[in-house]
């Protein structure tokens, strides 16, 4: 067991150092908050969301209107989770 722990520690240190090394060059490329690379879509939604959907919450207008398909998938994920839980645990629930 001792040797396995040593191998695991070495692997952890290697993996962690690789991850840190891969992130370090990105530190200079990170853009400040609120200044994305391609702001065209954001500007369009910010200027047109209220007029087009009539909702003051632009996030809701994106989630339910502009990106409705994404929300449909999200709802399907929840539905699948409930179906799976009920399928697996119904046996215990009904004795």
Partner 1 sequence: MDETSKIIKTVSSVMFPFVTIYGLYVILHGHLTPGGGFQGGAIVASGCALLVVAFGSDAIAKRVKESQLSLLESIGALGFISLAFVGIATTFFYNSLAGTKFLFGRIPPYGSNPGYLSSGGLLPLMNLAVGTKVIAGLFAIVLILAIATRKKGGRSK
Q: Please give the residue ranges that form the binding site for partner 1 (CB under 8 A).
A: 47, 50-57, 59-61, 63-65, 68-69, 71-72, 74-76, 78-79, 81-82, 85-86, 89-90, 92-95
Nearest to 59 by CA among 71, 73, 72: 71
Smallest gap from residue 23 Cβ to partner 1 (A)? 31
Least distance in angstroms from the C-beta of 86 to partner 1? 6
Intra-chain end-to-end CA distance of the chain, in Å: 42
Quote the least distance from Cβ 40 to partner 1, whole Å.
Answer: 19
Question: How would DSSP label each residue in 18-62?
Answer: HHHHHHGGGGGTPPPTT--S--HHHHHHHHHHHHHH--S-HHHHI
Compute the chain's Rg from CA coordinates.
Answer: 24
Cβ proximity to partner 1, 43 vs 74, nearer residue = 74
CB of residue 14 vs partner 1: minimum separation in angstroms? Answer: 39
Q: Nearer to partner 1 by C-beta: 38 or 56? A: 56
């Amino acid at each position: 067991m001792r040797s396995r722990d040593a191998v695991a520690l070495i692997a952890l240190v290697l993996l962690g150092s690789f991850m840190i090394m891969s992130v370090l060059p990105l530190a200079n490329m990170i853009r400040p908050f609120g200044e994305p690379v391609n702001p065209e879509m954001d500007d369009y939604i910010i200027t047109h969301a209220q007029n087009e959907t009539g909702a003051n919450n632009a996030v809701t207008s994106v989630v339910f209107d502009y990106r409705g398909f994404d929300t449909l998938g999200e709802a399907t994920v929840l539905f699948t989770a409930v179906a799976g839980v009920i399928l697996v645990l119904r046996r215990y629930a009904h004795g």
